Amino acid sequence: MAQKKMILDLDTGIDDAMAIAYAVADPDVDLIGIIGSYGNVYVEDGVQNSLKILELLGATDVPVYQGLSHSSESDHFDRMPVSAQIHGENGIGDVQLPDPKRQPETGDAIDFFIDAVKQYGKDLILVPTGPLTNLDAAINKAPEITKEIGNITIMGGAVTVPGNVTNVAEANIQQDATAADHVFRKAPLTQVGLDVTLRTLLTYKETQQWRDLHTKSGEAFADIVDYYIKAYEVTSPDLHGCALHDPFAVGVAINPDFVQTIDLNMYVTTDETYYGRTTGDPARLDDPNTNVKVAVNADVPAYLDAFMTHLTNLFSKH
């Protein structure tokens, strides 16, 4: 049992699946729950993907809750075609995993998270790697949790590089910029955005190491991630690999030494021209009490070594 507890808030596509594996594998945290979100897939599909991945990894003790199914600005969610292109129709590279034996929890996802903050306090880490709709809803319901939780590390946004949906917006933030704006103004958090995640790349060399284990999880993850790498060959051929967006956020949440950060007061723009941009808040530029740490540089070799060590050890056992 580790002292630090972690909850993941995921829209479980391929990099989210690797984020789950990293959280399960790292001995410095206990993964105590997953909250499902929308984005890469519809929320119901993401919840099923999370349960399937947990079962593949022998982590069937981790509960999965279904969070909110659409943004705070709308009454429904339409999956973007590019999401299916990058993650596959089913979200996990069109790899068919067995139906999970465990069912999603029947309780409320937001209440589960709030109760966990009350129970674990500064020992609790939340890693949202999809839209910030669930976290915004929790803060609206229990504003005090922003002072009680130990660590919020998000995968989202872009400050020093262009966005991946528009010139200024990254996908997770763009899914619900209003919720993201509320969170960026109210919560202490570390932003692990495209500035650093586009530097942490995986190639066929690494997935072959998993395939060579000749285990169910090693071969399944090799198939899943190879689909992701192939998608990147089309969408981002200049990168020469696939970006480890979500698992890098998990790694940084556990070991902040993987990144260098700058302290900022930030907000998210919600006007039509620059919708979803994460940037400095003009109204708080002179306020010395900053609440956001923005990752701007990464110790890529150290992280990739930890990533491959954790996941390869885990896959060798299942």
Structure tokens at 76: 């429904």
Q: How far apart are CA 17 and CA 44, in angstroms?
A: 15
Say if residues 229 and 204 touch (Cβ distance below 8 Å): yes
Structure tokens at 55: 């079962």
Span between the terminal Cα atoms of the chain, in Å: 20
Which phi and psi angles does 170 have, rounded to 5°? Answer: -90, 150
Domains and CATH numbers, the chain: 4-316 (3.90.245.10)
Q: Which residues of 1-27 are buried (b: 16+ CB within 10 A; e: fewer)?
A: eeebbbbbbbbbbbbbbbbbbbbbbbe
Say if residues 278 and 163 touch (Cβ distance below 8 Å): no
Structure tokens at 83: 């999401």
Residue 285 is predicted with a pLDDT of 87
Say if residues 55 and 102 touch (Cβ distance below 8 Å): yes
Give residue for tokens 């690999």.
241
C-alpha angle with apex 60: 55 to 64, nearest 5 degrees? 95
Structure tokens at 88: 């596959």
76 belongs to the catalytic site: no
**pLDDT in tens for each of the 318 residues of the chain?**
999 999 999 999 999 999 999 999 999 999 999 999 999 999 999 999 999 999 999 999 999 999 999 999 999 999 999 999 999 999 999 999 999 999 999 999 999 999 999 999 999 999 999 999 999 999 999 999 999 999 999 999 999 999 999 999 999 999 999 999 999 999 999 999 999 999 999 999 999 999 999 999 999 999 999 999 999 999 999 888 999 999 999 999 999 999 999 999 999 999 999 999 999 999 998 899 999 999 999 999 999 999 999 999 999 999
Q: How far apart are CA 242 and CA 44, in angstroms?
A: 25
Catalytic residue from among 87, 182, 245, 310: 245
Q: Parallel, antiparallel, or unpaired: how do β-strands 4-10 and 259-264 relate?
A: unpaired
Nearby residues of 155 by Cβ (< 8 Å), 6 or more positions away: 127, 128, 129, 172, 192, 193, 197, 245, 246, 248, 249
Catalytic residue from among 11, 15, 226, 281: 11
Residue 133 is predicted with a pLDDT of 98
Say if residues 183 and 289 touch (Cβ distance below 8 Å): no
Rounded to two decimals, the pTM is 0.97
Say if residues 93 and 225 touch (Cβ distance below 8 Å): yes
Q: Where are the alpha helices (DSSP H) in the chain?
A: 14-25, 43-56, 81-87, 109-120, 133-141, 145-148, 171-175, 177-186, 194-197, 204-211, 216-235, 245-254, 300-315
Say if residues 41 and 83 touch (Cβ distance below 8 Å): yes
Of 273, 57, 270, the residue nearest 184 (C-alpha): 270
11 belongs to the catalytic site: yes
Nearby residues of 182 by Cβ (< 8 Å), 6 or more positions away: 132, 136, 139, 140
